[in-house]
A and B are shown apart, each in its own frame.
Chain A
Amino acid sequence: MARSKAELLQMLSDYVFEMEDEEIGSVAQEYIDASHDPLDGILEGLADGMNRAGKMYEEEEYFVTDLLICSDAMYNGLEILKPHVSQNADEDKKTHKCVIGVVEGDTHDIGKNLVKIMLETAGFEVHDLGRDVPLRNFVDKAKEVDADLICLSTLMTTTMPGMKDVVEMLKEEKLHKDVKVMIGGGPVSQAYCDKIGAHGYSANATDAVKLAKVLVGLDA
């Protein structure tokens, strides 16, 4: 007997949460074949599973490597569901845009990648500049895509000053009010955030999403 929509949604969520990154494709396909709404599948299935994984991460039951496999499962499901989402389904909703990257001189991008995954799960349009990013590129990209947010990450004390430089560039271009800057990474702190005039600091990927929502004016 065919599974109900509710059952399939639960399976999509569970397969993300339980890191079934290979098996999830067939569930997503079954969901589509039964003509259920793909957007529901993404939001109530895949994203729900990723959010549950995020909660476990906050509670220190899941670790970074767990979240990476969960996100593989999410993206594998997304690959099947997304092409079926009709173009105008979410047109009336404003998508918040975010530019993200690891500042110049640093190549540690695990934290940045996690924040990217969690922001995408939360519905942000994320433009990822990668790691070791020349500081100017953050501002240029933010202007190009009309971003609401710039997310800067570094794991090294030595490259932290680059964050301040980005804030200064935004001030020079009078973009500091329109483009919010949030920062994170091992040596970074709220005190440093206040010191350089960034708009917010978060200690981990799930807090980063809450902060991003507050900064762009969405409910956290």
Chain B
Amino acid sequence: MNPRDRLLGALQGAKLDRVPCICPGGMMNMIIAELMQKTGIMWPDAHADVEKMEKLAEAVYEYGMFENYGVPFCMTIEVEGMGAEVDLGNTKIEPHVISYILDTVSDYKNLKSFAVNEGRAKVCTEVISILKSKDKSVPIIGNLSGPISVASSLMEPVIFYRELRKKKEDAHRYMDFVTDQIIAFGKAQIRAGADVIAISDPSGTGEILGPKYFDEFAVKYLNKLIEGLREEYKGIPVIVHICGQMHKVYGELDKIKADALSFDAIVNMKEVKEQMPNRVIMGNVSTYALEFSDKKKIQSITRNVLNSGVNIVSPACGLGLQSPLENIQAILETIEEDSYD
């Protein structure tokens, strides 16, 4: 079974020879310093250059880290496209927003429409089409930042969260606008050849919002985003990653129309499986352990994750750049050993 069929099968909840081992990209960063050194392709260049981004994405698979390709390597393309200023960082620091462009949700009309055929969005979709033309056995994951995360990166988050309550109607209009821009980028990625779309919405957590607002603003616009993609690309598989504790929001979480839900290391996967027995679940090898422990420890963590019943194994969050390559490789090696002996 090739990695693409395995991932697509797992996303449908099918019974397979073994679980896939992936790291989507985007917020779920899969690039480490050791890989940059080995390939000679460095950040920040690889965030904005077609050939470099493509080669680095390929190296993740070639070096036995994960069974997928994934771009981009950041979560700033959407906000940059809407006018925020982004610092691309360096070999140690990921791209991040350096200036906000809105003072209030009510000013959303001042935002630029995201031209997905320009700039780094275009770099990203070009990379996807090149990867697609080369190897059809490895799944290509296109990454999007979730609506709350994008909306709270265009303005001061404290004001944003406050205005979800105080200026509810404008907040909804703002979220609508932002979600439409993300849909456009997602569609461009699928058009270019992405097999799967992964959406990370780290700022839209139940812990920050509480169940009511999680439902009203996070779930609602994640679903609008997913439905928007599927309007044109029926059945495109979608993974949604959310950070933080979930036990207060299982009911709301289960409304998200993604094929798979991904969680961070704080979440007990057995509990998730009990609460939502019919969902395809992805996770959650501790990125802290991946960076600071050793191969042996990763083997045992991977076995625990497998035993918890996840359908797809992945890191719990973005990888720390100083994570040793052999620790990352140990996840996939362990899955293979345990499945075929």
Contact = CB atoms under 8 A, between A and B. Distances in A.
Given A63-B208, A109-B157, A187-B287, A69 B322 contact: no
A65 B92 contact: no
A65 B89 CA distance: 30
Contact of A65 (B94, B202, B213, B292): B213
Interface stretch (A42-50, A81-89, A188-196, A209-217): A188-196
A64 B209 contact: yes
Contacts of A104: 93
Interface in B194-226: 202-203, 206-210, 213
Contacts of B166: 69
A169 interface: no
A154 B322 CA distance: 16
B311 interface: no
Contact of A192 (B206, B209, B292): B292
A159 B97 CA distance: 14
B288 interface: yes
A161 B209 contact: no
A191 B158 CA distance: 30
A157 B213 contact: no
A106 interface: yes
Interface in A38-76: 60, 62-66, 68-69, 72
Given A65-B162, A69-B162, A60 B248 contact: yes
Contacts of B234: none
B292 A195 contact: yes
Interface in A175-220: 186-187, 189, 191-192, 195
Contacts of A65: 161-162, 164-165, 208-210, 213
A129 interface: no
A65 B206 CA distance: 10
Given A64-B208, A65-B210, A110-B208, A158 B321 contact: yes
Contact of B318 (A64, A158, A161): A158
Given A60-B248, A105-B92, A68 B288 contact: no
Contact of A107 (B153, B209, B264, B291): B153
A151 B248 CA distance: 28
Given A64-B207, A186-B244, A191 B162 contact: no
B96 interface: yes
Contacts of A63: 206-210, 213
Interface size range of chain B in the complex: 35 or more
A189 B161 CA distance: 26
Contacts of A155: 202
B158 A158 contact: no
Interface in B174-209: 202-203, 206-209
A157 B328 CA distance: 15
A191 B209 CA distance: 28
A156 interface: yes
Contacts of A161: 92, 320, 322
Contacts of B322: 161
Contacts of B210: 62-66
Contacts of A191: 288, 292
B98 interface: yes
Contacts of B320: 157-158, 160-161
Contacts of A113: 158
A132 interface: yes
Contact of B161 (A64, A158, A159, A195): A64
25 contacts: A60-B248, A62-B210, A63-B213, A64-B209, A65-B162, A65-B210, A66-B210, A68-B158, A68-B161, A69-B165, A105-B93, A107-B96, A108-B157, A109-B157, A156-B94, A157-B287, A157-B291, A157-B317, A158-B92, A158-B320, A159-B93, A160-B320, A186-B244, A186-B264, A192-B288
Interface of B: 29, 89, 92-94, 96-98, 153, 157-158, 161-162, 164-166, 202-203, 206-210, 213, 243-244, 248, 264, 287-288, 291-292, 317-322
Given A65-B165, A161-B92, 11 more contacts: A62-B210, A64-B210, A65-B164, A65-B209, A68-B162, A72-B162, A105-B89, A105-B96, A156-B94, A186-B243, A187-B287
Q: Which 4 A-B pairs have the closest CB atoms?
A: A63-B210, A105-B93, A157-B320, A64-B208
